[in-house]
Structure 1
Amino acid sequence: MATFDLQSILDAYGPDAGRDYAAHLNPRFHDLLRLVGFDRRFVRGEGPYLWDEQGSRYLDAIGGFACLSLGRDHPVLRDALEQSLRIAPPTLIQFETPPLAVALAESLKRFLDRPGDRVFFVNSGTESVEAAMKIARAATGRPGFAHWSNAFHGLTLGALSMNGAEWLRRGFEPLVPGCREVPFADTDALRAALADESVAAFFFEPVQGKGVIPHPPGVLREVAEICRETGTLLVADEVQTGLGRAGAALASRTDGVEPDLVCVSKGLSAGAIPLGAVLGSAAIFDRVFDSVERSVVHSSTFRENPLAMTNGLAVLHVLREEAIVERSARMGAALVAGLRDLAPTVPGIREVRGRGLMIGVELDPPALAIDMPGLANRTSTLVAQALVMRLLQRHRLLTQSTSKGSGVIKLVPPLVISEEDVDWIVEAFRESLVELARGRGAAVRGLIKMMRKAPGVVLREAVQ
């Protein structure tokens, strides 16, 4: 029998992974890592922490783009996956009713308190949005979709059609026709957009991921009423917010609404095995899968595979048994309070907002930097990146700015962080903001650091 040695592959490719990544995958992404100082090798991860080759410990507040809800290498999750590989239930028979899929659907409905729903499993968040788009069209007989400005629902073609960022859509048009963008939280504009009753569904994020922007109080209840009046399905994209990230099983319920369809993924996968789901009423699903012939009208090869189903079951088990949702709410409140208490004492924080452990720190660039000639439109980006770089290099804290041109630092650490980790984050922001504000030189320092890291990349990007 052939043998396989994974460790030897890691040892062979690890030291030069950056250079080889540029050669074989995406050189511009490697350039990005060089620019912001992320071109380093991490060799171990456990809980919310990473360790580099020198043995230094880092706190990860990027959390795999908010999917690492249980951190890395959770023992229950690891054991569950090892059990699945050892027991080896037959996989991907396709014409079957997999018992693990039944168990996960039942467990997910119970966890989210949606007992009357049906469940459709997918492999990712963007796939859940694409599936919800198809379900909405088939269930309503309508072609169109509506979404808020600044929305992010994924980067596959249908989901991208409801993306509020022009720079992400550019180069991929024409997108799905009939997608209407509505100014964020403008219910009068939404009512006008849905008035002709040609829109199948309105998609929303309970807290917008780009910028970490919650809805004003009462807005989503009014949105739900407008959707009911116009026969439009209300779809909650809880890919990022759901299953504890925003301090509740479903963030939309915090706003007092019960959507017709719910998309989940990141928190259900916990970063181990790709997994997502769409939940909706039996009445909606029965209008899609309405005959034996159409029982497979939407499907995919890898959905309901035993590893993914096992992973989801184990994640829900840990969320329940370790009270992770409650922990997220508690640690998130402590982190928001710590950062808000910090804001009046240091320059550079305009606002701290968020729910649970989905938190945005909006910077005040003029307090940290003077616009540089020819680069005034990039001040917010430079300031944010200067802060991200200092947090990483000085405090071993991984963070990100939320989007191109954004002055918002997003914090989405694993939901298992401790009070000590909260203090780690607050102190890192305190020291870094004080240092960067000296002489209002944050933008200059950010640019100088980038020039030192990758001068050719900076010069090439500056002329584009």
Structure 2
Amino acid sequence: MTHPTIERHARHVNPAFVKLLGVLGYGRVFTRARDVWLWDDQERQYLDFLAGFGSVNLGHNHPRLMARLQRFLAEDALHFCHVGLTEHSALLGEALCQRLDAPLEVVLLASSGGEAVEAGMKLARAATRRSAFVFCEGGFHGTSFGTLSMMGSERMRKPFEPLLAGCHRVPFGDLEALERVLRREKVAAFVVEPLLAEGGVVSPPPGYLKEAQALCRKHGALLVLDEVQTGLGRLGRRFAYQGQGFVPDVLVLAKALSGGAVPVSAAITSTEIHGRAYGGTERFDLHSTTFGGNALACTAAMETLAIVDDEGLVANAAARGTELLEGLRKRLAGHPLVREIRGEGLLVGVELGPTESGLLNRLVPSLVGQVSEKVFGQWAALRLLEEGIVCQPASHRWDVLRLEPPLTVKSEEIQRVVDAVARILGDYTGLVPLLRDVVARVGEQRKREGAFR
């Protein structure tokens, strides 16, 4: 019989997703989690190398965070207050800004990454009195209507067009293209990630973000840095911009700020920019959200910030990330269908596709590329799942297998994943065995579905 959770999702939540999970047998019902481990309803154990797309930097259900939230729930706190000041949002604002660089010192709180990005967009329009935005090919800033206007994926944009007018796309890392748009349009902000996560784990050229901010200032625009997925240690630095010689005009945080427990996000800017946008009694309430800054979320975020510092998770991300990157490069060197292994800290991508070796790679590279994009990344993720490792391809680049564990991961867990990835990809050095196994699995799944009808 089908599991009741699957039936309920198929009926009431996302029928198409349930169907997709069943095509190759990917579907699992996960029931509990602790640190880097997940368990399903069959009590099978999995090593989590996805971490909620970067939301679970502390590991699942971190005991110190859970203990703090349990104490909080007994405190009779005022959760929502919109007619006065509460200590929780003030304390979180202070805790965030203490960890950032001047002049970032005013915090706009929200619940999701998309909300915080839109807070940055509104702030930029209000402060500059301009309307246009620039974003990058391959970028991902959320799926709300405003953030979709800066979505790098045509597949995800198209059903909702027309979107916001005046949003201009440029290649990631291309300063000349950015300046052409800044010179031509009345740009309020350039919204950019420090690394394209969903776009295939792609880093920009050295100095790109610093130079981009200089161009923005030259032409009267702001730089909004979207660190929703990279903030709080993911790249082996507390924040990705640090150590690069600049401070963004607006910094956006979410995902990991939650501790993997309570949704919370923030857009942080300077007093000067905030004053231009919302200063004075006529403008103080032009941006607000009912749930933003609620006491539970702020408590979770403050404890998360403290745990990241106290447990040295940034340094662990840097060290374990080096082990992951170097281990994969060593084990997969010369693989005819591995184009590149790249990343920073504990965000690593294995790009699959034709290389210069192999007959088919040379004769029909476009075919090999299409199979890699449509099939190989998902098949590799499925094979890893069946060996007890959870990961996924990048959402905009299915030919890039993304590895993104909690920052609490240990060396032996890194080695387990390196070994498994090398072993599984070693089974597929050409298209024939890959297509053979995929076709056989699809057939098996169809027979299984027929048996339950």
TM category, shorter: over 0.9
Could you tell me whether the CA contact under 8 Å between 1:180 and 1:193 is conserved in 2? Answer: yes
After TM superposition, the structure 1 = structure 2 runs for residues 87-126 of structure 1, keeping only pairs within 5 Å, are 87-114=75-102, 116-126=104-114
Q: Deviations over 1:380-408 (max 9, x none)?
A: 22111111111111x21111111356310
From 366, 383, 386, give the equivalent of 1:390: 383
Q: Deviations over 1:12-69 (max 9, x none)?
A: xx94111211111110011122234331222221001112233332111111111111
Structure 2: distance between partners of 1:169 and 1:319: 35
Does 2:38 match 1:44? no
Could you tell me whether the CA contact under 8 Å between 1:31 and 1:454 is conserved in 2? Answer: no
* 3-state SS, counterpart of residue 135 of structure 2: strand
Could you tell me whether the CA contact under 8 Å between 1:125 and 1:239 is conserved in 2? Answer: yes
* 3-state SS, counterpart of residue 240 of structure 1: coil
Q: Deviations over 1:444-463 (max 9, x none)?
A: 42343234335899xxxxxx
Structure 2: stretches of 5+ with no match in the other structure? none
Match of 1:270?
A: 259
State the identity %: 37
Does 2:237 match 1:248? yes
Could you tell me whether the CA contact under 8 Å between 2:36 and 2:48 is conserved in 1? Answer: yes
* 3-state SS, counterpart of residue 300 of structure 1: coil
Structure 1: distance between partners of 2:102 and 2:432: 51
From 188, 193, 196, give the equivalent of 2:176: 188
Structure 1: distance between partners of 2:191 and 2:67: 37
Structure 1: stretches of 5+ with no match in the other structure? 1-13, 458-464
Match of 1:360?
A: 349
Match of 1:412?
A: 404
Structure 2: distance between partners of 1:146 and 1:222: 15
From 232, 235, 249, give the equivalent of 2:221: 232
Does 2:316 match 1:327? yes
Residue range with higher mean Cα deviation, 299-308 or 47-56: 47-56
Could you tell me whether the CA contact under 8 Å between 1:245 and 1:358 is conserved in 2? Answer: yes
Amino acid corresponding to residue 410 of structure 2 in structure 1: S
The alignment's TM-score, normalised by the length of structure 1, stands at: 0.90
After TM superposition, the structure 1 = structure 2 runs for residues 293-332 of structure 1, keeping only pairs within 5 Å, are 293-332=282-321
Structure 1: distance between partners of 2:217 and 2:14: 45
Q: How far is 1:218 from its partner?
A: 2.2
Could you tell me whether the CA contact under 8 Å between 1:92 and 1:302 is conserved in 2? Answer: yes
Does 2:85 match 1:75? no
Structure 2: distance between partners of 1:454 and 1:308: 44
Match of 2:16?
A: 28
Say if 1:71 and 1:294 are closer, same or farther in 2 by CA, change over 3 A.
same
Could you tell me whether the CA contact under 8 Å between 1:359 and 1:412 is conserved in 2? Answer: yes
Residue range with higher mean Cα deviation, 358-367 or 251-260: 358-367
Q: How far is 1:362 from its partner?
A: 0.7
Match of 2:435?
A: 443
How many equivalent residue pairs?
A: 444
After TM superposition, the structure 1 = structure 2 runs for residues 143-154 of structure 1, keeping only pairs within 5 Å, are 143-154=131-142
Does 2:122 match 1:134? yes
Match of 1:423?
A: 415
Say if 1:411 and 1:107 are closer, same or farther in 2 by CA, change over 3 A.
same
Say if 1:221 and 1:456 are closer, same or farther in 2 by CA, change over 3 A.
farther
Structure 2: distance between partners of 1:374 and 1:104: 52
CA RMSD of the aligned region, Å? 2.4
Could you tell me whether the CA contact under 8 Å between 1:346 and 1:430 is conserved in 2? Answer: no
Q: How far is 1:337 from its partner?
A: 0.8
The runs of at least 4 aligned residues of structure 1 exceeding 6 Å deviation read 366-376
Say if 1:390 and 1:230 are closer, same or farther in 2 by CA, change over 3 A.
same
Q: How far is 1:116 from its partner?
A: 4.6
Q: How far is 1:169 from its partner?
A: 0.3
Structure 1: distance between partners of 2:241 and 2:123: 20
* 3-state SS, counterpart of residue 207 of structure 1: coil
Structure 1: distance between partners of 2:310 and 2:446: 47
Structure 1: distance between partners of 2:99 and 2:368: 49
Match of 1:11?
A: none
* 3-state SS, counterpart of residue 429 of structure 2: helix
Residue range with higher mean Cα deviation, 173-182 or 81-90: 81-90
Residue range with higher mean Cα deviation, 231-240 or 404-413: 404-413
Could you tell me whether the CA contact under 8 Å between 2:134 and 2:169 is conserved in 1? Answer: yes
Structure 2: distance between partners of 1:157 and 1:36: 32
Could you tell me whether the CA contact under 8 Å between 2:55 and 2:260 is conserved in 1? Answer: yes
Residue range with higher mean Cα deviation, 184-193 or 35-44: 35-44
Does 2:444 match 1:452? yes
Amino acid corresponding to residue 250 of structure 1 in structure 2: F
